[in-house]
Chain A
Amino acid sequence: MLGRTASSLFWMSRYIERAENMARLLEVGYRISLMPRAVEGHRDEWLSTLTSAACQASYFGKHKDITTKNIIHHLLFDDDNPSSVRTCLKTARNNGRAVRTALTRDVWESLNGTWNEFVQIKPGSITTDRLPGFLDWIKQRAMLFRGALLGTMLRHDTYFFSQLGTFIERADNTARILDVKYYILLPKPSDVGSDVDIQQWATVLRSVSAHRSYRWFYRDSTYRPWLVAEFLILREEMPRSLTFCYQWITRSLDGLAEDYGKSYGCQREASEIYARLEAGKMDDIFQSGLHEFLQDFVKANNQLAAEIAQTYNFP
């Protein structure tokens, strides 16, 4: 396989994952903006959405004030925002198009169909009342893509490179959402355990579709920061946790090593990260600082992505 093909597969999946996460973040921000007490807190909630999505800089480069309309436009439709859903879907499709020959028809048609439908939609038509339905559609299209990938691709290098893109992106996203809540939205000591605090944790869980599974898993009606952090970092049962992502990253890299009969530094690095997560204890993580832990993780995750790119000759 060409190095460029591998790279395109990786980024195709990565951008679809990013589009889905963007839809989730917007969904949460939108819910909160609807709450009665949101009037004065409105600004802050959208700000935290921007921060979690890492779109602060691009947003304030174009807009002075935070308005719901501008936020929606910037995160969904803005061509100048490298992480807007539009940019993600377009880039994912362009990558898919460049490696059309490596994809099954189902995978290609899911990508292509999504883009063709997306461009039919006039940005102005997505008013707040139509937003939830539209965000659902984006998530469904991402799931269709993943379903097509899982259901039709041969389990060889093509599949492994796509999976790597998905899980590197997902791990980055989960770590970032958690860090934003824990570090940037850190409540004043007097607010710990307050409604606002609890609600923010609920937000974090919701943005990874885990607010219900948390309840089932911990049999607990209250969102406890420690448990939420544990759920999203260490629990292998939770499909967006860091440990879960690394289970799949190591699996994919091992798959490549087996296919190619050759193992490299990136296999070792991923196994080490995975082993650290598996052996991880929340006590230790909080002891040495959750923020530092997450920062280190995001860095290591990025480094691994760079290492993979270098090892397999991405252009």
Chain B
Amino acid sequence: MGNIFNEMLNPDGSVRGHYSQIHDWVGSLSKANVERALKEAEGIFRRLGITFAVYGSEEASERLIPFDIIPRVFAAAEWRRLTIGIEQRVRAINAFLHDLYHRQEILRAGRIPKDIILQNSAFVPQMVGLTPPRGVYAHIIGVDIVRVSETEFYVLEDNCRTPSGVSYMLEDREAMMFLFPDLFKSHRVAPVENYPAMLRQTLESVAPAGAGSEPTIALLTPGIHNSAFFEHAFLADEMGVELCEGSDLFVEDGYLYMRTTQEPKRVDVVYRRIDDAYIDPLTFRPESTLGVPGLFDLYRAGRVTLVNAPGTGIADDKSIYTYIPDVIEFYTGEKPILKNVPTWRCGEPKDLTYVLDHLAELVIKEVHGSGGYGMLVGPTSSAKEIEDFRSRLKATPKNYIAQPTLALSASPTFTTAGVASRHIDLRPFVLTGERVRITPGGLTRVALKDGSLVVNSSQGGGTKDTWVLED
């Protein structure tokens, strides 16, 4: 790996301007201070019930995501540049989705091979010809971005389905304001607290035409055993909307209703946090008990809005990812501002040969995987892990893509051995309704193990509060 960009320090060791106070503050903290703060923070999170379920680990089925008290800071100008790139990407993705489910100009133009879209399980043929309110498909996107230098940012993934993590963004800020109020007096940190209100406005703005001026919104969750249940409950509470499971909703006489203790109540917008395949057993997976029978027909008839729209997964599928720069150019006529990571498609023989020869240098990901499961980080893997992966890769090469190991930027982080540099990424949250809105900040994930590049919470990553300083 080449030079690692240090978020706080310049290459000559001097402190970047927007970090100057944080740098001094970190220096002034004693180990005892930090331990007390972390303990208090843990108390706050535990008490609130902010936990994260880890699939496949029995004893710790409910865990806290580790929280680091040193914030990640963006200067106002840096952030502005970044948001321009994000907005460009998000607008292009919505245009792309609209096109794929209508005239498919981009396929006709030959910019993306037809098969890769039409044969893709994330493409939902039932969406063809349907135009959701305001033409918006991916209302909520969490773009995963890594930084490699002062000005270079790469997008790792677009997360257009049901991105999670926004509750950590909000709670990390709460915790920081509680633990270190003085830091907020000495910095002008752009607020993130109005995210739930913005989300609610976004959902209201895409209500179906017949919904009236105060549309009813429901958040549809798979239930308490889902790993992100806490977030579902948290957002429903913050927005003041009902948190529903599939069995709480039913379709009757052409409308969607909630089962209440009184008369059934009509629902206009469903912010669903369950996957496409489960939303309606009559249209998609018949064995699903999480969804609502008949929901998709109502959606097609324009009686209810689903957020995000079904079929958005085609835009963040890892096999489509490599085409997103073309997508941006095709719909905006502009060069992409944010870069894509160079990617080898293991399904292509030439690429596969290269990947097999360079496994120890590359990151290999499953095309349909998420959450850091089923991936190989070559440089930090043992010879045995690499060989095991090699045989999996050879068996089904089409299931994998490979990318160079990026030198993710590093940020000062508290560890058991004191302050040390740890790799981080960023997931800003983007809302699209009437207009595109990007919350100033987002979720910064940090790989807590020395040298590790895996920031996923399911793999032992932690989070940091993310600050955007105002001018």
Contact = CB atoms under 8 A, between A and B. Distances in A.
A240 to B, nearest CB: 28
Given A3-B248, A4-B248, A108-B49, A101 B243 contact: yes
Given A101-B237, A313-B260, A2 B49 contact: no
A315 B259 contact: yes
Interface residues of A, number: 24
A9 B262 CA distance: 16
B60 to A, nearest CB: 11
19 contacts: A1-B260, A1-B262, A2-B259, A4-B244, A4-B245, A98-B233, A101-B236, A101-B243, A109-B47, A112-B47, A113-B47, A116-B46, A157-B261, A256-B261, A262-B262, A312-B261, A313-B260, A315-B248, A315-B259
Interface in B43-65: 46-49
Nearest to A4: B248
Interface of B: 46-49, 223-224, 229, 233-234, 236-237, 242-245, 247-248, 258-262
A260 B261 contact: yes
Contacts of A94: 224
A109 B262 CA distance: 29
Nearest to B242: A2
A2 B46 CA distance: 27
Given A98-B223, A98-B224, A113-B47, A313 B247 contact: no
B247 A4 contact: yes
A6 interface: yes
Which 10 A-B pairs have CB atoms at the shortest separation, nearest pair first?
A101-B237, A312-B261, A100-B233, A3-B259, A6-B261, A112-B49, A313-B259, A1-B261, A315-B247, A2-B248
Given A3-B248, A4-B247, A97 B259 contact: no
Interface string A129-163: 00000000000000000000000000001000100
A3 B260 contact: yes
A100 B261 contact: no
A287 B87 CA distance: 82
Contacts of A260: 261-262
Interface string A257-291: 00010100000000000000000000000000000
Contacts of B46: 112, 116
Contact of B260 (A2, A161, A262): A2
B235 to A, nearest CB: 10
Q: Which of B224, B245, B261 has the most CB of A within 10 A?
A: B261
Most buried by B among A4, A108, A315: A4
Contacts of B258: 2
Given A3-B261, A260-B262, A97 B247 contact: no
Interface string A104-133: 000011001100100000000000000000
Given A98-B223, A101-B233, A101-B236, A4 B47 contact: no
A269 B113 CA distance: 69
Contacts of B47: 109, 112-113
Contacts of B242: 2
Given A4-B247, A312-B261, 10 more contacts: A1-B260, A2-B242, A2-B259, A98-B223, A101-B237, A108-B49, A112-B49, A313-B259, A313-B260, A315-B248
Nearest to A108: B49
A94 B229 CA distance: 11
B49 A97 contact: yes
Contacts of A1: 260-262
A149 B242 CA distance: 21
A100 B49 contact: yes
Contact of B261 (A97, A101, A313): A313
B424 to A, nearest CB: 29
Interface string A235-264: 000000000000000000000100010100
A105 to B, nearest CB: 8
Contacts of A116: 46
A6 B259 CA distance: 11
A305 to B, nearest CB: 15
